[in-house]
Amino acid sequence: MKIELKTILLQYLKAFLADPNIANQGESENFTSFDQKRIAALPTLRELIGDFISGKIDLQTFKDKHGLKCREFPYWGFKGASGQMQVNQFAKNIEDEDKVAILRNAMKLPITEAEAKEKIDGLVRYISDKRSASDNPQPLPRPASVKYMLSYFWEIQDHTKWPVFYNSSKRVIDEIGFAGQSGLTEGETYLHFLALVKVIQALFEEHVRDKEIDYPFWFVEHVLWKQFLTSNTRTGAERKKPEAGEPTPSRNNVALEVANEWLPPVILDMRDLAFNRETVWSKRHNLKPEKAFETKLRIAFTLLGYEATELGQGKGRQPDGIAISKNVDGGDYAIVYDAKAREKHFSVGTSDREMHEYITKKGEELKQRRVNKAYFLVVSSEFDPSSTNINLIKSVFKRTRIPIILMKAVDLQFLIEEKLKNTELTHKQLEDLFLDTGILTREKIVDILGIR
């Protein structure tokens, strides 16, 4: 491993050891107590998985029972769209008498890495063929979720050999700069991930007392998960040249600036604009960062598939834009959004009166357009997390009954990336992100959408 990559990983390790609590289901606890909850849950989950693999219970029974158990033991993030939903869709929507035997064989613990690769690739081929040939209007499992689904079942059976393929872990590993090969199969991608996790595990064990790493794969997962949630990586943002006297950016900086293969170039600088920084794009269009940020938000919501309209400056006192979702089960809805470019963070202050005015005015206009559900979203660089700040937006909610959501620009980029990766992510699912007043964190996005 290159020295610069070691340095970055050891920075992540140091940050984790300084605060060894991890976030799960909106709560935070020490990783050791969390690991013990996993250990306590393993016998029940193993028995259930074993009963299905052995044929003691059928697929329908397994689907139903595991759907309950992964909520009773929510320690692997499996209850969402990439996990239990895939099991549900496999059981309900694939019409093939061989599907049960195929799934049982895939879930059975592999002995070798070659066998693990073939199990993943084999199930991917099976699901891909069924999707190509299907005229079933109901959604079928996603090939891209197979790595996560199978590795979860394998880790439950042997947590010392097969780590779960978390997209969050893979994302951090990619951002660090571990070079991967192009054109890998899904099975080969998992083996590449496994090899990197083992390398990171060995590095951490060199720098931490043995007794602190009882479960090495889980420890690596926790360090990477914490970095995933707390990182403000620019996710492909335009690199800002250092001013005179500033140090040249280094790969040793935790906030790495890396190219992103999913985000369109037009929104790569959105985070910089949220921090009220000029970018190449804003200069080229002769726009101040705050105005350029408003335009980028319209583009962002368009990329998410909404009917987005930019309002903002020069059109009287009103929010910066509206994004409307059409033809959603349960009714259309609108996201009234406001851009707040801030060098440090956005604090509500007296903006609560402004929010109330925007919501009241736009709410009436939307009702005239027969859009009866609306949410108010503020996008900025960072947010003041104090109770005073949160109470101000809660007071607006109490008066308007419209949820007020605060979201960082970098997390909106993350959401766009996930939507572009998964075209089956619907506006109905996205609406769940906007139901609760407060700060919409990365951890909440991952938990609500089930995309860990």
| Beta-bridge partners for 129 | none
Residues 55 and 103: beta-carbon distance below 8 Å: no
pLDDT of residue 209: 72
Cα of 378 vs its chain's centroid, Å: 19
Residues 320 and 337: beta-carbon distance below 8 Å: yes
Mean pLDDT for 18-39 is 93
Mean pLDDT for 76-101 is 94
**436 is written with which tokens?**
């609760």
Asked if residue 331 has pLDDT above 50, the reply is: yes
Q: Break the chain into its structural domains and give their ranges.
A: 3-230, 267-449
More confident residue, 328 or 291: 291
DSSP letters spanning 161-185: T-----HHHHHHHHHHT----TT--
Closest CA to 18 of 31, 34, 27, 35: 31
pLDDT of residue 379: 97
CA 26 to each of CA 226, 302, 389, 446: distance values in angstroms, whole numbers, following the listed order = 13, 29, 19, 11
| Beta-bridge partners for 30 | 21
Closest CA to 450 of 47, 189, 88: 88
Closest CA to 296 of 273, 326, 318, 262: 273
Rg (CA), the chain: 23
Asked if residue 1 has pLDDT above 80, the reply is: no
pLDDT of residue 314: 53
Mean pLDDT for 6-14 is 94
Closest CA to 108 of 66, 144, 188, 162: 162
SS3 344: coil
Asked if residue 334 has pLDDT above 90, the reply is: yes
Mean pLDDT for 410-437 is 92
Asked if residue 23 has pLDDT above 50, the reply is: yes
Asked if residue 372 has pLDDT above 90, the reply is: no
pTM (2 d.p.): 0.84
Distance CA 170, CA 358 (A): 40
**285 is written with which tokens?**
């269009």
| Residue 248 CB-half CA count within 13 A | 1
Asked if residue 114 has pLDDT above 90, the reply is: yes
Query: For the chain, what's the residue count?
Result: 452
DSSP letters spanning 262-330: SS-GGGTTHHHHHTT---HHHHHTT--HHHHHHHHHHHHHHHTT-EEEE--TTSSS--SEEEEE-S-TT
pLDDT of residue 327: 77
Residues 443 and 229: beta-carbon distance below 8 Å: yes
Distance CA 207, CA 13 (A): 9
Ranking 29-38, 86-95, 239-248, 376-385 by mean pLDDT, the lowest is: 239-248
pLDDT of residue 233: 53
**Per-residue pLDDT tens digits for 245-295:** 333 333 333 333 344 668 899 999 999 999 999 999 999 999 999 999 999
**Per-residue pLDDT tens digits for 151-167:** 999 999 999 999 999 99
Show the CA angle centred on residue 315, arms to residues 312 and 319, nearest 5°: 35
Distance CA 311, CA 318 (A): 7
pLDDT of residue 6: 92
How would CATH label the architecture of 267-449? 3-Layer(aba) Sandwich (3.40)
SS3 268: coil
Distance CA 277, CA 265 (A): 17
pLDDT of residue 257: 38
**206 is written with which tokens?**
């060199």
pLDDT of residue 179: 63
pLDDT of residue 252: 34
Residue 21 binned pLDDT confidence (cut-offs 50, 70, 90) = very high
pLDDT of residue 260: 61
Mean pLDDT for 56-63 is 97
| Beta-bridge partners for 322 | 309, 336
Distance CA 308, CA 304 (A): 10
pLDDT of residue 245: 38
Distance CA 86, CA 152 (A): 12
pLDDT of residue 46: 98
Q: Is the dihedral of CA 115, 120, 125, 126 positive or negative?
A: positive
Show the CA angle centred on residue 233, arms to residues 228 and 236, nearest 5°: 125
Asked if residue 146 has pLDDT above 90, the reply is: yes
More confident residue, 314 or 322: 322
**Per-residue pLDDT tens digits for 63-84:** 999 999 999 999 999 998 889 9
pLDDT of residue 382: 94
Q: What's the whole-number average pLDDT of the chain?
A: 89
